[in-house]
Amino acid sequence: MARRRVHNRALVQGIGSKVSGIGGLIAGFLLAASLCFGGPANPSPPNMFRPASTPADAIFHISIFVLMISGVIFAVVFWLLVYVLVKFRRSAGDDGREPPQVYGSNQVELAWTVLPILVVFVLFLATARVIHSIEDARKPPEAVEVIAIGHQFWWEFRYPSLGVVTANELHVPVSDPAHPTPTFIRLLSADTDHSFWVPRLAGKTDLIPNRTNNTWIDPHEVGIYVGQCAQYCGTQHAKMLLRVYVEPPDQFNRWVQEESKPAQVSDAFSEGRRIFESMACINCHAISGTVADGRFGPDLTHLMSRETIASGAASNTPENLRLWIHDPDAIKPGSLMPAMKLTDQDLDALTAYLETLR
Amino acid sequence: MSSESIALNPSDESTRPIGDRLHDWVTTVDHKKLGIMYILYALVFLVIGGIEATIMRIQLIVPHNHFVSPQVFNRMFTMHGTTMIFFVAMPIMFGFGNYLVPLMIGARDMAFPRLNAWSFWLAAFGGLLLYFSFIGGDGLYGAGSAPDVGWFAYAPLTARVFSVGHSTDFWTLGLLVSGIGSIGTAANIVATILCLRCPGMTLGKMPLLAWMNLVMAALVLLAISPLTAAQIMLSLDRYLGAHFFDTQAGGSAVIWMHFFWIFGHPEVYVLVIPAFAFASEIIPVFSRKPIFGYPVMVAATVTIGFVSFTVWAHHMFTVGMNSYANSFFTISTMIVGVPTGIKIFNWIGTMWGGKIQLKTPMLFCIGFLFQFLIAGLTGIMLAVAPFDWQLGNSYFVVAHFHYVIVGAILFALFGAFYYWFPKMSGRMYNETLGKWHFWLFLIGFHLTFDFMHIPGLLGMPRRIYTYEPGRGWDTWNLIITIGVLFQAAGILVFVGNLLWSRLRGPACTTDPWDAWTLEWSTSSPPPEYNFATIPVVRSRRPLWDIKHPEDPDWKYE
Amino acid sequence: MSSTSLASSSIESEWVLPSRGRVGMFCLIAAESAIFTIFVVAYIYYIGKSLAGPMPKDVLELPIFATICLLSSSLTIHFAVGALRNGKSGIFGIWWFVTIALGAIFLVETGREWYDLIFEKGLTINTNLFGTTYFSLVGLHAFHVTVGLIGLAIGMVLALLGKVKQEHSERADVFSLYWHFVDVVWIVVFTVVYIIGR
């Protein structure tokens, strides 16, 4: 075979492929850089490569393993492709004869069949272990039990043994690896499919009507972890956000104590309370210790203990709360909260009442 | 090569009245005309689907954007996905298959020409029915609305109670109708390949494109039907009060997923196997060598066809199947990667030791190789069920499948366009514009889809019309949207090149590429009867045998 | 090029490929089998899962007579095709007619069964999961029987007009493949619905 001089343009074509590969490398570098900078103090970005809980840890490790294997395969094949393009490019002074017509090679075919099968075998064994360790984990007696019910477009959280009902913001105790206190969550749905995903704590698991699923987390770092619904569930799927508050045990217990109390009654805001209890509010919402016992919307008994409203779509301020009641479409167009047609005066009184629900 | 000059009835098309010519096209049963109609139909929908994607990307360019409402956005992603799969990718593959298979096997037409025409018009009607939903979706009164349930239309979101009005029904019926057309075309392809090969062309001697269309058609027969069945069930639920997917009556939402993905996974092989076919024809010609390992390529393709029916629930890793089921689908998905990887090695082996010419078709095939490699690797990552528990339903998955469909399939399709355009039109395209198309589209593709993996890794789910700032997704979304500009520019150059070359390009010979399969032995464009006399072949490369009588293939095969 | 080898090539004279009608029909049967498989899977999955309403063992009776009719019709169509292959158009017409009659009886029996279920036993497609899966599976099959009967009827008309000759036996055979398929599906449906599901 005649020797080929490397032509400038051959390099350009070869570089074209390399540039794309380098683009990928740059992306990877930027990603790594962004991973090194921690986010704001609270809450942390949902980065699966900074796991803070055992299931997320296990997933992180197998992910790195498969990323490395993929990286090696990519590097080998990529450079093979570049080599072929550069070395076997038709040169400018080509004589026009056809190169040797090679039809195949059984040995080569065997080699590049057996090798991938071995890789698959190894990868599968490693993966099966992780699947089993996460899915078949036994629930220890000290575990906190939560029932999560997905709604369009908010999360209902019940702690049956602790007598707590809340919405959208999940509080759990931090789990000490020496004496683990994980939280096991039963996942149900009241309407259509949803998915519970807080990347730093665990992989996602779906909430499917007429089906009970289970997931668990045992976070070992205090903090606020964000996530959101990860299965398209309708118009406001995008704003069905999730927050998980991982707290030291005593703080968690205090929260449980507060949440399991009924609503405080105060005469000062009786006008707002009267409006609440005589309007359609009670068809959807519950406030324990009052006549309001609706289940369609979030429980409002301790509304003010939450930092956000509308499943994370807005922060829990008086202005936002007033706006949400008056015109939900301004915050979350397409949500199932109806616009309550109240006078300004009634709206103010109602908001003031709700502000007392600590 | 004497048949090029034997045109029994040379007629000058441009002098006939336009009405007559249109009538010809509308009533034709000729596989070449039908093939071209499929392709043009798909190109129109490619542009429409691209506009839908652009709308989404503009909405997502910054967080909390107000370019479109959530209702419109949700319709956009539903229609974009449905359009691209059913009214772009499938018709265009059927179009190329229709055009090329009879020519490459030395036949005069498909086995059932009238079924061919019926299938095309049915498929075309399905697309129009789906798009009618934009004005008719709400039962013709009020503003219309297109379906907004996602292209896989999970239950129970599609139930009457959650999906009010008729928008979902347009999805169901449009796809049902075009699905029946697809089954007709698939049966036609199988019958053509099995029954109409020219003398001497045993199954082991037919071009790889024919083999791959055979496997593709078999997949269509077995995979579209589950979707048809599920859609019938959904319609029964919505109209006759049946309870197939009615969770309130004890029905299962998960069984819809099973039925859909038993269709959905083989479907992606229906789309990618013809792309393999294009690469398997183009790469040898531009490397000046036969395909490396023809028997292995056939075996790998058939294996992929079979195994593709065993992997479907890797789309359902997060629904709470038990650990044994998840493990099974992990290994089956990894296994299907093995024959796929083998093919990549064979293509590289074809180029090895050759004399590679970097014309536009070959450039696109090289892009295909490189991008298909990456797409396959991200697929292996997703096969690892625990990793999928993080990445599933996120932008990582969106990036992965766009890497396959755009990076691999569309690139191979562009290669096929440039390679066979001279044969179909009788004119040569402009090579400079072709290269502009390639580079513009390559840059745009990588800007968008390389960086799209990152928000997925950082927790961004798919199908959201907006996202929260401060989660680390903002910059990446901006870059992703910028890539759209380059892709759009590339497509404009492409369409311009096609039009200009069709109208004013230089006339080309029967065999501008010095290729080896039978379609290059007849005129460009071929006469309606394809071949004056049915060819007789002795090897996989009949034209090589003719051009190299001292060194024919049949001595070595 | 090839025109010179045309006359003398031995390859050509031995070049026999399957008939396209037969291959096309097998493709159709493959696709239809996939559709039926999904309905059967749904039926089996939902056995015992109805929340309320009539259950199979309460309301289903074995349709023995209808089954015998339908399965015999496979035999009669086989005789019809055999007769046509031997050039006996008259005998063909008789057996073809018997096939239609047996298929029609099957449909009538199905209709009677459905009337009883809907109006006497209170089971409809929206009663419960059993009703949904039963009517859709049996209905899908009955639809295919109906389409077959229409095809058979067209054949009957052509036969009566004297247009069906020995050279058409291949086409009749290909059509009979569809009819045999419909019968095989009934065997599966019968087993799943009336034996396993009860």
Instruction: For A158-177, give the DSSP string.
Output: EETTTTEEEESEEEEE--BT
> Cα-atom radius of gyration of chain B, to the nearest Å?
23
Which A positions 262-301 lie with beta carbon below 8 A of chain B? none
Q: Is the pLDDT of residue B87 over 70?
A: yes
Task: Say what the pLDDT of residue C3 is.
Answer: 40
Please tell me which chains touch B, using 3 or more CB pairs under 8 Å as the contact test: A, C
Average pLDDT, chain B: 94
Q: Please indicate, yes or no, if residue B16 is contained in any of the structural domains.
A: no
Which A positions 202-261 lie with beta carbon below 8 A of chain B? 202-206, 208-211, 213-214, 226-239, 241
The domain segmentation of chain A, as residue ranges, is: 57-90+107-136, 145-241, 267-354
Task: Say what the pLDDT of residue A43 is.
Answer: 85
- On the CB side of B427, how many CA atoms lie within 13 Å of its CA? 13
- Please indicate whether, in this complex, the C-beta atoms of B370 and A17 are within 8 angstroms of each other: yes
Which C positions 76-95 lie with beta carbon below 8 A of chain B? none
Measured in angstroms, the CA of A100 and the nearest CA of chain B are apart by 7
- Please indicate whether, in this complex, the C-beta atoms of A112 and B69 are within 8 angstroms of each other: no
Q: Is the pLDDT of residue A204 over 70?
A: yes
- Please indicate whether, in this complex, the C-beta atoms of B392 and A59 are within 8 angstroms of each other: no
Span B200-247, pLDDT tens digits: 999 999 999 999 999 999 999 999 999 999 999 999 999 999 999 999
Q: Is the pLDDT of residue B3 over 80?
A: no
Q: Is the pLDDT of residue B1 over 70?
A: no
Q: Please indicate, yes or no, if residue B174 is contained in any of the structural domains.
A: yes
Span B313-340, pLDDT tens digits: 999 999 999 999 999 999 999 999 999 9
Average pLDDT over residues B273-277: 98
Is A2 or A312 the better-scoring residue by pLDDT?
Answer: A312
d(CA A309, CA A285): 14
Task: Say what the pLDDT of residue C108 is.
Answer: 97
Please tell me which chains touch A, using 3 or more CB pairs under 8 Å as the contact test: B
Domain A267-354: CATH architecture, name and number where available: Sandwich (2.60)
Just give the CATH number of C20-52+64-196: 1.20.120.80
Task: Say what the pLDDT of residue B238 is.
Answer: 95
**Angle at the Cα of A282 (from A187 to B161), degrees rounded to 5?**
55
Task: Say what the pLDDT of residue B16 is.
Answer: 85
Q: Is the pLDDT of residue B459 over 50?
A: yes
Residues of A in contact with B158 (CB under 8 A): none
Average pLDDT over residues A204-210: 97
Q: Which token pair is C131? A: 């009703």
Bridge-partner residues for A314, per DSSP? A309
Which residues are CB-contacts of A4 (< 8 A; sequence separation ≥ 6)?
A: A87, A88, A89, A91
Whether the Cβ atoms of residue C63 and residue C113 lie closer than 8 Å to each other:
yes
- Please indicate whether, in this complex, the C-beta atoms of B337 and A116 are within 8 angstroms of each other: yes
Residue of A101, A151, A188, A229 to mutate, interface with B, max B Cβ within 10 Å: A101
Whether the Cβ atoms of residue B19 and residue B539 lie closer than 8 Å to each other:
no
What are the CA-CA distances from residue B51 to residues B45, B75, B84, B476 (Å)? 10, 13, 11, 21
What are the CA-CA distances from residue B302 to residues B211, B271, B342, B540 (Å)? 9, 15, 13, 19
Task: Say what the pLDDT of residue A265 is.
Answer: 77
Task: Say what the pLDDT of residue B556 is.
Answer: 85
**Taking Cα atoms as reference points, which of B360, B371, B361 lies closest to residue B416?**
B361
Average pLDDT over residues A214-240: 97
Q: Please indicate, yes or no, if residue B10 is contained in any of the structural domains.
A: no
Q: Is the pLDDT of residue A102 over 70?
A: yes
Residue of B101, B108, B221 to mutate, interface with C, max C Cβ within 10 Å: B221
Residues of A in contact with B450 (CB under 8 A): 20, 23-24, 27
Average pLDDT, chain A: 89
Task: Say what the pLDDT of residue C106 is.
Answer: 97
Residue of B82, B255, B355, B436 to mutate, interface with A, max A Cβ within 10 Å: B355
Residues of C in contact with B115 (CB under 8 A): 24
For B68, the 3-state DSSP assignment is coil
Task: Say what the pLDDT of residue B9 is.
Answer: 45
Confidence of residue B6 (pLDDT cuts 50, 70, 90): very low
- Please indicate whether, in this complex, the C-beta atoms of C128 and B243 are within 8 angstroms of each other: yes
d(CA B470, CA A46): 10
What domain range includes position B459? Answer: 31-555
Measured in angstroms, the CA of B194 and the nearest CA of chain C are apart by 7
Whether the Cβ atoms of residue B445 and residue B406 lie closer than 8 Å to each other:
yes
ipTM over cut 0.90 = yes
Least confident range of A5-14, A312-321, B170-179, B451-460: A5-14
Residues of B in contact with A46 (CB under 8 A): 458-459, 471
Q: Is the pLDDT of residue A7 over 60?
A: no
Q: Is the pLDDT of residue A5 over 60?
A: no
Pairing of strands A169-173, A241-247: parallel
B284 interfaces chain A, CB cutoff of 8 Å:
no
Residues of B in contact with C37 (CB under 8 A): 226
Whether the Cβ atoms of residue B475 and residue B421 lie closer than 8 Å to each other:
no
Residues of B in contact with C1 (CB under 8 A): 1-3, 521, 535, 546
d(CA A97, CA B550): 14
E strand segments, C36-130: none
Q: Please indicate, yes or no, if residue B441 is contained in any of the structural domains.
A: yes
For A205, the 3-state DSSP assignment is strand
Average pLDDT over residues A283-306: 94
Span B134-147, pLDDT tens digits: 887 665 554 468 99
Task: Say what the pLDDT of residue A92 is.
Answer: 85
Within 10 A of A39 (CB to CB), how many other CB atoms are there? 16
d(CA A259, CA A256): 5
Measured in angstroms, the CA of B249 and the nearest CA of chain C are apart by 7
Average pLDDT over residues A202-213: 97
Residues of B in contact with C23 (CB under 8 A): 111, 190-191, 194-195
> Which of B3, B223, B241 lies nearest to residue C126, judging by beta carbons?
B241
What are the CA-CA distances from residue B125 to residues A77, B86, B130, B179, B232 (Å)? 44, 12, 9, 11, 18
Which B positions 437-496 lie with beta carbon below 8 A of chain A? 439, 442, 446-447, 450-451, 453-454, 457-459, 461-468, 470-472
Name all contacts of B324-327 with Cβ < 8 Å and 24+ positions apart. B326/A131, B326/A135, B326/B385, B327/A124, B327/A127, B327/A128, B327/A131, B327/A132, B327/B385
Confidence of residue A41 (pLDDT cuts 50, 70, 90): very low
Q: Please indicate, yes or no, if residue B400 is contained in any of the structural domains.
A: yes
Confidence of residue A2 (pLDDT cuts 50, 70, 90): very low
Confidence of residue A19 (pLDDT cuts 50, 70, 90): low
Whether the Cβ atoms of residue B120 and residue B114 lie closer than 8 Å to each other:
no
- Please indicate whether, in this complex, the C-beta atoms of B348 and A17 are within 8 angstroms of each other: no
Task: Say what the pLDDT of residue A194 is.
Answer: 98
How many domains does the structure of chain B reveal?
1
Span A151-168, pLDDT tens digits: 999 999 999 999 999 999
Q: Is the pLDDT of residue A6 over 70?
A: no
Task: Say what the pLDDT of residue B136 is.
Answer: 73
pTM of the prediction?
A: 0.93
Q: Is the pLDDT of residue A12 over 60?
A: no
Span A42-83, pLDDT tens digits: 688 999 999 999 999 999 999 999 999 999 999 999 999 999
The domain segmentation of chain C, as residue ranges, is: 20-52+64-196
Span B57-86, pLDDT tens digits: 999 999 999 999 999 999 999 999 999 999
Q: Which token pair is A52? A: 């803070």
> Quick one: closest CA in A to B341, which residue?
A116
pLDDT < 70 positions in chain C: 1-13
The distance of Cα B347 from the centroid of its chain, to the nearest Å, equals: 20
Q: Please indicate, yes or no, if residue B104 is contained in any of the structural domains.
A: yes
Residue whose token pair is 């070359």: B501
Task: Say what the pLDDT of residue A164 is.
Answer: 96
> Which of C11, C39, C46 lies nearest to residue B199, judging by beta carbons?
C11
Residues of A in contact with B461 (CB under 8 A): 195, 197, 228-230
- On the CB side of B269, how many CA atoms lie within 13 Å of its CA? 35
Just give the CATH number of A145-241: 2.60.40.420
Whether the Cβ atoms of residue B110 and residue B144 lie closer than 8 Å to each other:
no
Q: Please indicate, yes or no, if residue B224 is contained in any of the structural domains.
A: yes
Please give the share of chain B, as a percent, with pLDDT higher than 70. 96
> Quick one: closest CA in C to B229, which residue?
C35
> Which of B186, B236, B250 lies nearest to residue C50, judging by beta carbons?
B250
Pairing of strands A169-173, A183-189: unpaired
d(CA B396, CA B399): 5
d(CA B479, CA B451): 7
Q: What CATH number corresponds to the domain at position B381?
A: 1.20.210.10
- Number of cross-chain residue pairs from B and C with Cβ atoms under 8 Å apart: 136
Task: Say what the pLDDT of residue B557 is.
Answer: 76
Span A325-349, pLDDT tens digits: 999 999 999 999 999 999 999 999 9
